[in-house]
Amino acid sequence: MSTITLLDGSLKLSIFYEVSDRDFDDDICLCFEEDCPEDEKLFKADEVSFYITPEQAALMVLELNRAIQNYRGDTKAAGD
Protein backbone atom coordinates (compact mmCIF):
# COMPACT_ATOMS: atom_id res chain seq x y z
CA MET A 1 0.00 0.00 0.00
CA SER A 2 1.39 3.38 -0.95
CA THR A 3 0.94 6.57 0.99
CA ILE A 4 0.21 10.02 -0.39
CA THR A 5 1.99 12.78 1.52
CA LEU A 6 0.11 16.08 1.85
CA LEU A 7 0.57 19.45 3.57
CA ASP A 8 4.38 19.43 3.56
CA GLY A 9 4.48 15.93 5.04
CA SER A 10 2.31 16.54 8.10
CA LEU A 11 -0.64 14.60 6.66
CA LYS A 12 -0.43 11.16 5.09
CA LEU A 13 -3.24 9.46 3.20
CA SER A 14 -3.42 5.73 2.59
CA ILE A 15 -6.18 4.30 0.41
CA PHE A 16 -6.85 0.58 0.34
CA TYR A 17 -9.46 -2.13 -0.04
CA GLU A 18 -10.29 -3.61 3.36
CA VAL A 19 -10.69 -7.32 2.67
CA SER A 20 -12.08 -8.01 6.15
CA ASP A 21 -14.96 -5.58 5.43
CA ARG A 22 -16.03 -7.19 2.15
CA ASP A 23 -19.41 -8.03 3.69
CA PHE A 24 -20.13 -4.30 3.67
CA ASP A 25 -20.63 -1.99 0.69
CA ASP A 26 -18.19 0.59 2.05
CA ASP A 27 -14.97 -1.40 2.08
CA ILE A 28 -12.54 1.11 0.58
CA CYS A 29 -10.62 2.78 3.38
CA LEU A 30 -9.24 6.30 3.41
CA CYS A 31 -6.83 6.48 6.32
CA PHE A 32 -5.42 9.88 7.31
CA GLU A 33 -2.44 10.11 9.67
CA GLU A 34 -1.30 13.44 11.07
CA ASP A 35 2.13 14.25 12.44
CA CYS A 36 2.09 17.88 13.50
CA PRO A 37 1.59 20.09 16.58
CA GLU A 38 -1.87 19.91 18.15
CA ASP A 39 -2.80 23.47 17.16
CA GLU A 40 -2.17 22.66 13.47
CA LYS A 41 -4.20 19.44 13.32
CA LEU A 42 -7.16 19.03 11.01
CA PHE A 43 -8.50 16.03 12.96
CA LYS A 44 -8.83 15.43 16.69
CA ALA A 45 -7.08 12.05 16.52
CA ASP A 46 -3.63 11.24 15.11
CA GLU A 47 -5.23 8.68 12.79
CA VAL A 48 -8.68 8.92 11.21
CA SER A 49 -10.17 6.33 8.87
CA PHE A 50 -13.41 6.32 6.99
CA TYR A 51 -14.83 3.91 4.49
CA ILE A 52 -16.49 4.58 1.17
CA THR A 53 -18.23 2.47 -1.46
CA PRO A 54 -16.64 1.68 -4.84
CA GLU A 55 -19.17 4.04 -6.43
CA GLN A 56 -18.13 6.87 -4.12
CA ALA A 57 -14.47 6.14 -4.87
CA ALA A 58 -15.20 6.27 -8.61
CA LEU A 59 -16.96 9.64 -8.18
CA MET A 60 -13.95 10.97 -6.29
CA VAL A 61 -11.65 9.82 -9.11
CA LEU A 62 -13.95 11.45 -11.67
CA GLU A 63 -14.01 14.77 -9.84
CA LEU A 64 -10.23 14.70 -9.27
CA ASN A 65 -9.71 14.07 -12.98
CA ARG A 66 -12.02 16.99 -13.81
CA ALA A 67 -10.05 19.25 -11.50
CA ILE A 68 -6.78 18.13 -13.14
CA GLN A 69 -8.22 18.81 -16.60
CA ASN A 70 -9.35 22.27 -15.50
CA TYR A 71 -5.92 22.96 -14.03
CA ARG A 72 -4.18 21.84 -17.21
CA GLY A 73 -6.53 23.96 -19.31
CA ASP A 74 -5.80 27.02 -17.16
CA THR A 75 -2.03 26.54 -17.30
CA LYS A 76 -2.14 26.15 -21.10
CA ALA A 77 -4.25 29.30 -21.43
CA ALA A 78 -1.84 31.22 -19.18
CA GLY A 79 1.09 30.15 -21.37
CA ASP A 80 -0.54 31.33 -24.61
Q: Quick one: three-class SS letters along 6-70?
A: EHHHCEEEEEEECHHHCCCCCCEEEEEEECCCHHHCCCCCCEEEEEECHHHHHHHHHHHHHHHHH
Instruction: Provide the domain limits for residue 37.
Output: 3-79
Residue 79: pLDDT band with limits 50, 70, 90? low
pLDDT for the residue 20: 86
What gap in Å lies between CA 71 and CA 2, rounded to an integer? 25
Q: What is the pLDDT of residues 1-45, one digit of tens each?
A: 789 999 999 999 999 998 887 788 999 999 999 999 999 999 999
- Split at pLDDT 50, 70, 90, the class of 62 is very high
Q: What is the pTM for the complete model shown?
A: 0.80
Residue 51 has pLDDT above 70, yes or no: yes
Q: How many domains does the chain have?
A: 1
CB contact at 8 A, 49 and 29: yes
Among candidates 29, 66, 31, which has minimal Cα distance to 51?
29
